[in-house]
């Protein structure tokens, strides 16, 4: 059609000139020419000139020199020209702030214009000019526009508040715009409501604790009404906002669900998915036996299915979300398996997602169908997809036990095709099937062995070697097979070498007579000719085992292996909970929490699913463990009993040569005056003192008296400054913890149980750093080296922040004190009891396991002081059911002393009130995972010698209350 | 919350760039272009991230439509929005190409401003009805609308097969063209488009079938107060409803454009809508598993191994395909592509073929391991057959297992598989004489697979 347009231009038929010519010229003196045109009297010419300027701007030319001339064109009543000028202004105001001021007068004037379009345009543009100077002038016009009679202006102004807040948050608060914005939620125009909600949501996100979006049943009702009337985009804002609301009870939850459900049939898939999010969240509160619950489940399926009819891009996003939904509530889509069958023309990334969902939905009922499909996929052209399909068959076998036999025969069929990569993948998954169902399908080994020669990928070779080694007694020519691999030993990858070594040792243990030569050959290959440390180490271990105690070797090498389960690829429940709250957002596509990819404080707020009322599941879903950002990719979740397996993965890396954070010698931070650092001050005597003041048995007696003598001021003194006083006190023979109370060390691991290693320890929090103070004593006869430590997942994600610094070998009868800094960014799993910590310590002798309990005050953070207002609101906000009452008797402290003491452990007193001879203290505590604990303490005054304290603790996660109380008791009594 | 929006040509030229929040610099454009061109085949291209900035893009009209964001917004919203932006650009500029975007940059900037109210990246509206109140710039059409173009309106020509979306060719002119003057005709197009995906098992059993359908309107009427679209009265919705003996038309689920009023839908199956200018989908529906009619094609394949010369193990694959079209005799299919993938090909191969009529063609595509059989026109009730002999040296009988499914792509004009029909199309108040109404039906194959 090129010719047509040319023809048309030539003939002058196209009376208008096209815009594209603006892009073409780059003549010299262009700016000059434009300047002249901009100052022309003719409106048309001016407009053309501004268009040219904007075209240059788009392609990246610098036309800022024309700023004054363009601004001059602003005073016009031609709306098109005005819009163009505004467009220009927005782009350049930031680089030319002084010039922008020139335009302010016109803006202010335009805000009074009778035409609402111009009023909105002016206020909108002013908001976009991110120059501080302009913001002062913006306030008045903005205030007017927020109350404008025209909804178009109001909705524009609403968003403008958010913009202004981004530039100058304080100004917005001072000017009271936030309240006006809140009023707009009740506006008569739904679009205004939607924009107000969007603006408030964004502002609230940057202030997680402000009660800006104070949702209550009335406002919810208003939002739901506006929902039915506003545009599709507005509906998305409102639905996303609704998803943050916590309904009071299941009835309210149901009524919201009922009103949101019609959105599921909206044509805009974004609306649909936002509605799904709201429903998924609120469903949690509905009792499962409710009829409505079943209805809702049924209603959710069709819209999700429909999402799959969109373009591949949307399909992909939908599938990522469905993957989450299926993990949370498989019952929704259990009958829709067929939808996820792959179409031949799907893009590969859609195919792979579908495959994943198919396996998640696989059950006994549909397994035949799934297998038939997978078998078809395994013969497709795309190699990647075929590999995944073959693996999927293996995963089905592991997931659905009844289907295992069928899966194995399907895999055998595939092996028959002799297609190289299919065979290799099949062998890899058959290995897993053998692990899951030992001694069941060994009859197929013969078939596998036929394909030995075609295996060229390390993973498949390793799998095959494993099979041969594991079932050596059933394979007549196992030694020949393994020998054939051994020929090219040095060319194999490490994976294969390791596997070959193990397999031959297994073979030797099973058939010792015939294979002695072979095993010697492999051991020497591994230990002498290899420079891979892993391989060498393993070789030596086997060698020594075999030479010292063949029976033990048999026990070790042929030990029973832990079973594998299908759960290995599920997303961790806590992460899943959070992702469910982020359905339809980027988080759900990445399968990462927003904190992992959004910079700054925004989006770091952790959302959680409301707990179901009065159901056994509530404890699980309101898990305290929904703590700190876990940036780890979705990992294997061990069941709680699986500690051993988990700890076996102990990182065996030797201690690195980094600068030790704490160490018994001279290096010590100011923070650590209390810890190992004291040793050096006290010289050799520190051995008898035990290093840590709190922990030393000889000091223990003195400690009991200490609190009474404690100067009140000291409790508030920062930890560093306290060091001096500390030393002073020490001279007086009394140890005084500056910060929080540190319990004396207790024996965690008796020497009896750990081949001579005795570990005692305690926990301390010093200046915001959590430390685990350990005393290691060698009660064995040999030297101990190579210490390493690892924690099992625990409720608050405690994990070592560095390696265990025991640099010198621990000779017999030597004792060493180590302080291990801890972080709270480790993996999270709720423990029983909550503060339980399971630890593995390794040395050159063995790996030892013990568990200990830490005081909850360990994870009370320093900035745990809540604003008074926020305290009040939060106190009200937490349901009374979550309140727990405790009594503390036999405390000899008045309220001031108590609050000082508590402050040392990061329990902050926010307010004090005296009512009828009783002191009431209001206190707040913040845990490292962001959970707030509020407390009200009642102290009988008057009689300082005998005080009874009543404590009521409120927290959104009621499980912690008991442990917080224990901390109170511990701190106040010591 | 969208941070930036930009449109790039396929070569990476900046056509439109707009920054809504001042969070990022213009450099992100080139970052994006580098990332998108370096993407390998199996990576999902939908969302890409670079140093905390996330790009979401779609490709339409050969252009990249990109939004970037720093927060955690809904990618659905953004993809929908970008698609909508492209559709609107098409509505306003007539067609979607690098040229039309270049020519109308001022208009697109204005559109963007109003859609997102350049407001901090909050999407405001995408409805042409509302937008037309605000848009000042006039569209510049790259292709002046003339009477000659009406030839395209002639229902589905062969070229529509290529473009997957049948009706767009019919009306590629700006909806707002030439304000004031009476340009174009007062036309309204209503299209019922269905996409059929079918999987037929190796024994001829229907394993999976579903239909995705939609009713689309493209409206050129400057003002139109209300339009009533009557669907089949016996249309039933949902799985649970009992089917009578009548030939009821059934769909599982439907979704409606939010402008559609449904007060007469339940009883009379009438959609009431005030169409705004431009293109819009008023109803989407789907039907899973139960087709009301037999699938349009039946295939009787046979794949065998034969020896050319047994002594040197020179073998070949014999593929015999018999294809029957089960449509009523008066109907026919345009352009049927039938392909078999994969074939167990080795490096050496050759093929001989016997086709039942001269206008058909067959081709072996060794790169894709595919055999392609093309039938330009296939009348209903007819039966065609083809015999292919592919020489493959050293073929094992196991590799016959590998011979893959047959997939077909085709277009069935003037019919819907669900049987959904438009009974009537009434405009009220009746437009003065000039208005023309077009109702068109088409069924595309989305994915039609027959396993061997």
User: What pLDDT score was predicted for residue B201?
Assistant: 81
Task: Among A8, A159, A316, select the one facing B117 at the smallest CB separation.
Answer: A159
The span from the CA of B426 to the CA of B228, in Å, is 5
Indicate if the pLDDT at residue B147 is higher than 60: no
- Contact predicate B295/B206, CB 8 Å: yes
Eight-state DSSP code of residue B121:
T
User: What pLDDT score was predicted for residue B398?
Assistant: 64
β-bridge pairing B278-288 and B436-450: unpaired
**Residue A191's closest chain B neighbor by CA?**
B124
- Higher pLDDT: A786 or A624? It is A786
Return the minimum-mean-pLDDT range out of A37-51, A201-215, A678-692, A946-960: A678-692
Indicate if the pLDDT at residue A696 is higher than 70: no
Is the CB of residue B180 less than 8 Å away from at least one CB of chain A? Answer: no
- Higher pLDDT: A140 or A731? It is A140
Asked if B127's CB is within 8 angstroms of A306's CB, the reply is: no
Q: Which residues of chain B lie closer than 8 angstroms to A587, CB-CB?
A: 72
**Residue B105's closest chain A neighbor by CA?**
A19
Asked if A195's CB is within 8 angstroms of B76's CB, the reply is: no
Q: What is the pLDDT of residues A225-243, one digit of tens each?
A: 888 888 888 888 889 888 8
Indicate if the pLDDT at residue A701 is higher than 80: no
Return the minimum-mean-pLDDT range out of A478-482, A518-522, A528-532, A624-628: A624-628
User: What pLDDT score was predicted for residue B330?
Assistant: 78
Indicate if the pLDDT at residue B213 is higher than 80: yes
* Res. A145 pLDDT band, cuts 50 70 90: confident
Angle between helices A420-436 and A458-470 (to 10 degrees): 40
Q: What is the pLDDT of residues A352-391, one digit of tens each?
A: 899 999 988 888 888 888 888 888 888 777 888 888 899 8
Q: Determine what percent of chain A is predicted with pLDDT higher than 90.
A: 1
Cis before B54? omega within 30: no
Q: What is the pLDDT of residues A746-762, one digit of tens each?
A: 888 888 777 888 888 88
The span from the CA of A302 to the CA of A281, in Å, is 18
Q: What is the pLDDT of residues B32-83, one digit of tens each?
A: 888 888 876 656 677 888 877 888 888 888 888 998 888 888 888 888 888 8
Indicate if the pLDDT at residue A619 is higher than 60: no
Binding-face residues of B in 257-286 toward A, CB within 8 A: 257-258, 281, 284, 286
β-bridge pairing A815-823 and B226-231: unpaired
**Residue B50's closest chain A neighbor by CA?**
A597
CB atoms within 10 A of CB A286: 22
CA distance A22 to chain B (A): 9
- Contact predicate A78/A61, CB 8 Å: no
Q: Biggest alpha carbon distance in chain B?
A: 83
Is the CB of residue B182 less than 8 Å away from at least one CB of chain A? Answer: no
User: What pLDDT score was predicted for residue A275?
Assistant: 92
User: What pLDDT score was predicted for residue A927?
Assistant: 84
The span from the CA of A144 to the CA of A110, in Å, is 12
Whole-Å CA distances, A385 to A349, A726, B42: 9, 67, 9
User: What pLDDT score was predicted for residue A319?
Assistant: 92
Asked if A586's CB is within 8 angstroms of B75's CB, the reply is: yes
Asked if A598's CB is within 8 angstroms of B256's CB, the reply is: no
User: What pLDDT score was predicted for residue A566?
Assistant: 61
Q: Which residues of chain B lie closer than 8 angstroms to A241, CB-CB?
A: none
CA distance B96 to chain A (A): 13
Q: What is the pLDDT of residues B388-403, one digit of tens each?
A: 888 777 666 666 767 7
Is the CB of residue B401 less than 8 Å away from at least one CB of chain A? Answer: yes
User: What pLDDT score was predicted for residue B135?
Assistant: 67
Q: What is the pLDDT of residues B263-315, one digit of tens each?
A: 888 888 888 888 777 788 888 888 887 777 778 888 888 888 777 666 666 77
Q: Determine what percent of chain A is predicted with pLDDT higher than 70.
A: 80
Binding-face residues of B in 198-227 toward A, CB within 8 A: 199, 201, 208, 210, 212
Tokens (6 digits) for A154: 């109001």
Return the minimum-mean-pLDDT range out of A634-648, A772-786, B200-214: A634-648
What backbone torsions phi and psi does residue A302 show, to the nearest 5 degrees? -55, -45
Task: Among B20, B80, B398, select the one facing A268 at the smallest CB separation.
Answer: B80
Indicate if the pLDDT at residue A648 is higher than 70: no
ipTM entry: 0.73
Query: Which stretches within B70-158 are classed as H helix?
Result: 75-93, 98-103, 105-115, 128-131, 150-153
Mean of pLDDT values over B17-29: 78
User: Is the whole model's pTM more than 0.80, yes or no?
Assistant: no
* Res. A693 pLDDT band, cuts 50 70 90: very low
Q: Which residues of chain B lie closer than 8 angstroms to A318, CB-CB?
A: 76
Beta-carbon contacts of A773 under 8 Å, excluding residues fewer than 6 positions away, are: A675, A691, A692, A695, A742, A745, A761, A762, A763, A764, A817, A818, A819, A820
Asked if B289's CB is within 8 angstroms of A338's CB, the reply is: yes
Whole-Å CA distances, A848 to A118, A779, A828, A913: 75, 15, 22, 51
Task: Among A16, A159, A584, select the one facing B120 at the smallest CB separation.
Answer: A159
Asked if A417's CB is within 8 angstroms of B47's CB, the reply is: no
Whole-Å CA distances, B286 to A145, A760, B215, B238, B359: 46, 67, 12, 10, 36
What are the strands of the beta sheet with A847-853, ordered from one edge?
Answer: A788-791, A836-842, A847-853
Q: How many CB pairs under 8 A join A and B?
A: 256
The span from the CA of A801 to the CA of A863, in Å, is 21
- Contact predicate B274/B281, CB 8 Å: no
β-bridge pairing B361-365 and B436-450: unpaired
Task: Among B77, B253, B341, select the one facing A270 at the smallest CB separation.
Answer: B77
The span from the CA of A213 to the CA of A216, in Å, is 9
Return the minimum-mean-pLDDT range out of A950-964, B12-26, B106-120: B106-120
CB atoms within 10 A of CB A63: 20
User: What pLDDT score was predicted for residue A354?
Assistant: 92
User: What pLDDT score was predicted for residue B137?
Assistant: 65
User: What pLDDT score was predicted for residue A669?
Assistant: 37
Query: Residue B47: which of A171, A591, A105 has the closest Cα?
Result: A591
User: What pLDDT score was predicted for residue A683?
Assistant: 37
User: What pLDDT score was predicted for residue B239?
Assistant: 64
Mean of pLDDT values over A57-72: 78
Asked if A311's CB is within 8 angstroms of B144's CB, the reply is: no
Angle at A649 between CA A646 and CA A650, to 5 degrees: 110
Asked if B49's CB is within 8 angstroms of A598's CB, the reply is: no
SS (H, E, C) A302-361: HHHHHHCCCCHHHHHHHHHHHHHHHHHCHHHHCCCHHHHCCCCCCCHHHHHHHHHHHHHH
Q: Looking at beta carbons, which pairs linking B357-366 to residues 24 or more positions away fall under 8 Å?
A: B357/B384, B360/B384, B360/B386, B362/B386, B362/B388, B364/B390
- Contact predicate A945/A939, CB 8 Å: no
SS (H, E, C) A169-210: HHHHHHCCHHHHHHHHCCCCCHHHHHHHHHHHHHHHHHCCCC
Average pLDDT, chain A: 76
């Amino acid at each position: 059609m090129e010719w047509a347009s040319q023809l048309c231009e030539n003939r002058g038929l196209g009376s208008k000139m096209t815009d594209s010519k603006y892009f073409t010229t780059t003549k010299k003196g262009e700016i000059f020419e434009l300047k002249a045109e901009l100052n022309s009297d003719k409106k048309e010419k001016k407009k053309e000139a501004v268009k040219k300027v904007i075209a240059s701007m788009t392609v990246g030319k610098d036309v800022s020199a024309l700023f004054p001339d363009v601004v001059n064109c602003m005073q016009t009543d031609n709306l098109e020209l005005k819009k163009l000028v505004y467009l220009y202004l927005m782009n350049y105001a930031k680089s030319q702030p002084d010039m922008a001021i020139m335009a302010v007068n016109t803006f202010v004037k335009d805000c009074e214009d009778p035409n609402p379009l111009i009023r909105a345009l002016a206020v909108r543009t002013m908001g976009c000019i991110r120059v501080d100077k302009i913001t002062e002038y913006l306030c008045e016009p903005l205030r007017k526009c927020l109350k404008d009679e025209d909804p178009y202006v109001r909705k524009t102004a609403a968003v403008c508040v958010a913009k202004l807040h981004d530039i100058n948050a304080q100004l917005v608060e001072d000017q009271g715009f936030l309240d006006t914005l809140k009023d707009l939620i009740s506006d008569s125009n739904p679009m205004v409501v939607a924009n107000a909600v969007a603006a408030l949501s964004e502002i609230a996100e940057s202030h997680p604790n402000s009660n800006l979006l104070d949702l209550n049943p009335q406002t919810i009702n208003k939002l739901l009404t506006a929902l039915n009337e506003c545009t599709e985009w507005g509906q998305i804002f409102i639905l996303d906002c609704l998803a943050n609301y916590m309904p009071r009870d299941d009835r309210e939850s149901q009524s919201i669900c009922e009103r949101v459900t019609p959105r599921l049939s909206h044509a805009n898939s974004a609306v649909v998915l936002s509605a799904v999010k709201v429903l998924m969240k609120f469903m949690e509160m509905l009792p499962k036996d409710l009829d409505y619950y079943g209805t809702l489940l049924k209603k959710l399926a069709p819209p999700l299915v429909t999402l799959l009819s969109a373009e591949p891009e949307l399909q992909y996003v939908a599938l990522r979300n469905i993957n989450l939904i299926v993990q949370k509530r498989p019952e929704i889509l259990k009958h829709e398996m067929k939808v996820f069958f792959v179409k031949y023309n799907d893009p590969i990334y859609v195919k792979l997602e579908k495959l994943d969902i198919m396996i998640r939905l696989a059950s006994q009922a549909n397994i035949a169908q799934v297998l038939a499909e997978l078998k078809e996929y395994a013969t497709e052209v795309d190699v990647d997809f075929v590999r995944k399909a073959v693996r999927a068959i293996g995963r089905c076998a592991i997931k659905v036990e009844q289907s295992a036999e069928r899966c194995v025969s399907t895999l055998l069929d595939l092996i028959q095709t002799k297609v190289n990569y299919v065979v290799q993948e099949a062998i890899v998954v058959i290995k897993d099937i053998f692990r899951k169902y030992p001694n069941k399908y060994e009859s197929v080994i013969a078939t596998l062995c036929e394909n030995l020669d075609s295996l060229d990928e390390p993973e498949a070779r390793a799998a095959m070697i494993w099979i041969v080694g594991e079932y050596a007694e059933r394979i007549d020519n196992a030694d020949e097979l393994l020998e054939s691999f051994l020929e090219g030993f040095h060319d194999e990858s490490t994976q294969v070498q390791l596997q070959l070594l193990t397999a031959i040792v297994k073979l030797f243990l099973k058939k010792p007579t015939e294979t002695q030569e072979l095993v010697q050959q492999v051991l020497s290959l591994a230990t002498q000719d290899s420079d891979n440390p892993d391989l060498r180490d393993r070789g030596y271990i086997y060698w020594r085992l075999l030479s010292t105690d063949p029976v033990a070797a048999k026990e070790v090498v042929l030990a029973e292996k832990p079973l594998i389960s299908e759960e290995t690829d599920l997303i961790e429940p806590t992460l899943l909970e959070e992702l469910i709250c982020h359905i339809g957002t980027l988080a759900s596509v990445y399968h990462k929490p927003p904190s992992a990819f959004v910079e700054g404080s925004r989006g770091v707020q952790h959302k959680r699913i409301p707990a179901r009322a009065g159901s056994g599941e509530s404890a699980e879903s309101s898990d305290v463990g929904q703590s700190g950002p876990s940036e780890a990719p979705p990992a294997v979740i061990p069941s709680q009993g699986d500690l051993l397996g988990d700890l076996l993965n102990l990182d065996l890396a030797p201690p690195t040569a980094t600068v030790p954070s704490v160490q018994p010698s001279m290096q010590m931070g100011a923070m650590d005056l209390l810890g190992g650092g004291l040793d050096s001050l006290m010289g050799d005597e520190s051995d008898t003192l035990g290093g840590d003041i709190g922990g030393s048995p000889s000091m223990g007696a003195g400690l009991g008296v200490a609190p009474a003598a404690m100067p009140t001021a000291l409790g508030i003194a920062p930890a560093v400054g306290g060091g001096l006083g500390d030393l002073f006190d020490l001279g007086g023979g009394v140890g005084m913890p500056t910060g929080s109370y540190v319990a004396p060390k207790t024996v965690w691991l008796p020497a009896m149980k750990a081949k001579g290693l005795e570990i005692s320890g305690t926990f301390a929090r010093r200046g915001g750093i959590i430390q685990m103070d350990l005393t290691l004593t060698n009660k064995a006869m040999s030297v101990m080296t190579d210490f390493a430590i690892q924690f099992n997942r625990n409720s608050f994600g405690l994990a070592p922040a560095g390696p265990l610094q025991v640099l010198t070998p621990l000779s017999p009868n030597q004792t060493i004190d180590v302080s291990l800094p801890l972080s709270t960014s480790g993996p999270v799993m709720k423990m029983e009891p909550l503060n339980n910590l399971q630890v593995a310590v390794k040395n050159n002798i063995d790996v030892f396991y013990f568990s200990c309990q830490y005081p909850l005050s360990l994870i009370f953070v320093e900035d745990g002081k809540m604003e008074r207002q926020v305290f009040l609101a939060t106190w009200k906000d937490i349901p009374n059911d979550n309140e727990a009452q405790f009594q503390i008797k036999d405390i000899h402290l008045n309220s001031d002393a108590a609050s000082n003491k508590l402050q040392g452990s990061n329990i902050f007193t926010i307010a004090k009130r005296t009512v009828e001879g009783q002191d009431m203290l209001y206190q707040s505590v913040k845990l490292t995972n962001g959970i707030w604990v509020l407390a009200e303490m009642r102290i009988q005054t008057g009689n300082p010698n005998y005080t009874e304290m009543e404590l009521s603790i409120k927290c959104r996660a009621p499980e912690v209350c008991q442990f917080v109380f224990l901390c109170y008791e511990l701190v106040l009594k010591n | 919350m969208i941070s930036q929006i930009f449109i790039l040509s396929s070569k990476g030229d900046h056509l439109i760039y707009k920054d809504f929040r001042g969070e990022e610099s213009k450099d992100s454009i080139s970052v994006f272009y580098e990332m998108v061109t370096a993407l390998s085949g199996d990576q999902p291209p939908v969302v890409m991230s670079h140093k905390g900035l996330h790009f979401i893009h779609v490709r339409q009209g050969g252009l990249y439509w990109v939004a970037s964001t720093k927060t955690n917004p809904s990618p659905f919203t953004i993809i929908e929005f970008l698609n909508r932006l492209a559709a609107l650009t098409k509505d306003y500029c007539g067609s979607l190409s690098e040229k039309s975007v270049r020519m109308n940059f001022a208009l697109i900037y204005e559109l963007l401003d109003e859609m997102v109210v350049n407001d901090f990246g909050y999407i405001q509206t995408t409805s042409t009805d509302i937008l037309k109140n605000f848009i000042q710039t006039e569209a510049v059409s790259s292709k002046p609308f003339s009477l000659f173009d009406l030839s395209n309106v002639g229902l589905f020509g062969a070229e529509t097969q290529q473009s997957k979306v049948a009706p767009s060719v019919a009306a590629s002119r700006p909806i707002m063209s030439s304000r004031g003057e009476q340009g174009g005709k007062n036309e309204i197009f209503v299209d019922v488009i269905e996409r059929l995906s079918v999987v037929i098992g190796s024994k001829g059993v229907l394993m999976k079938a579903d239909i995705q359908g939609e009713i689309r309107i493209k409206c050129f009427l400057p003002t139109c107060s209300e339009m009533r679209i009557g669907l089949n009265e016996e249309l039933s919705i949902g799985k649970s409803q009992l089917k009578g003996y009548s030939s009821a038309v059934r769909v599982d689920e439907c979704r409606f454009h939010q402008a559609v009023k449904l007060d007469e839908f339940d009883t009379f199956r009438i959609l009431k809508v005030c169409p705004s200018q431009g293109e819009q989908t008023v109803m989407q529906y789907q039907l899973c598993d139960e087709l009301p009619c037999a699938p349009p094609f039946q295939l009787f394949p046979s794949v065998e191994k034969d020896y050319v010369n047994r002594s040197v193990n020179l073998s070949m694959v014999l593929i015999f395909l018999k294809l029957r079209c089960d449509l009523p005799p008066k109907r026919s299919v345009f352009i049927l592509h039938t392909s078999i993938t994969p074939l167990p090909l080795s490096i050496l191969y050759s093929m001989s073929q016997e086709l039942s009529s001269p206008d058909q063609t067959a081709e072996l595509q060794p790169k894709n391991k595919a055999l392609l059989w093309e039938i330009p026109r296939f009348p209903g009730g007819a039966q065609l057959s083809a015999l292919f002999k592919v020489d493959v040296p050293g073929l094992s009988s196991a590799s016959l297992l590998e011979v893959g499914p047959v997939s077909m792509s085709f277009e069935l004009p003037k019919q819907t598989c669900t049987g959904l029909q438009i009974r009537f199309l009434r405009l009220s108040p009746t437009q003065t004489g000039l208005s023309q109404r077009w109702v068109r039906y088409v069924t595309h194959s989305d994915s039609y697979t027959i396993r061997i």
